[in-house]
Amino acid sequence: MKRLLNIAIASAVLLTAFGAAAQQNRPSPPGVTGQVIDGARVTVYYARPNTKKAGSDEARKIWGGLVPYGKVWRTGANEATLLTVQKPVVIAGTTVPAGAYTLFTLPLEDGSAKLIINKQVGQWGTQYDEKQDLARIDLKKDTLEKPVEQFTMAIERNPDGGGLLKMMWENTQFSVPFTVQK
């Protein structure tokens, strides 16, 4: 019960922060994606940077540029990206208890990337404490048919059961399946 209260509080704080950010007309507006998967709500609160510089048609190099290889990235912009799970989920063999977590990404020079699930929440996106990591998970990489101008995350139902967490930007999609623990 205490864990659910913490989720509710973290969600309320972030919704307030994202609402305030939206009113400030930031170049990277807030985004929310969520889905009920097998009876559990899974939600991600994040900010959506653009490929193009604000007020310009100049495209930026994303992977290996704006998002450098070998460095932990906030998985979006502005405040740290928040994942909330109503029930425990299993991602690549790692059980993630019900609660709130920060998502970071570690893109590597070979084009692969790892999703970092971190137990610290409520911080600015650049404040990363490796000691708070719950897991580092390999992401599946796909090339998109059409480029995505604005960083986009999605929680979708997986046709094989459970759900999929997706991140899409430029010509790249990273994803990882998850299941809700019964």
Reported as a single tens digit per residue, the pLDDT across 32-53 is 999 999 999 999 999 999 998 7
Which is nearest to 21 in space by CA: 11, 8, 31?
A: 31
Residues ≥6 apart with Cβ < 8 Å to 58: 52
Least confident of 22-31, 36-45, 114-123, 170-179: 22-31
Q: Average model confidence (pLDDT) for the chain? A: 89
Which structure tokens are listed for 167?
A: 């991140």
pTM, 2 dp: 0.85
Every domain of the chain and the residues it spans: 2-180
CB 102 within 8 A of CB 81: yes
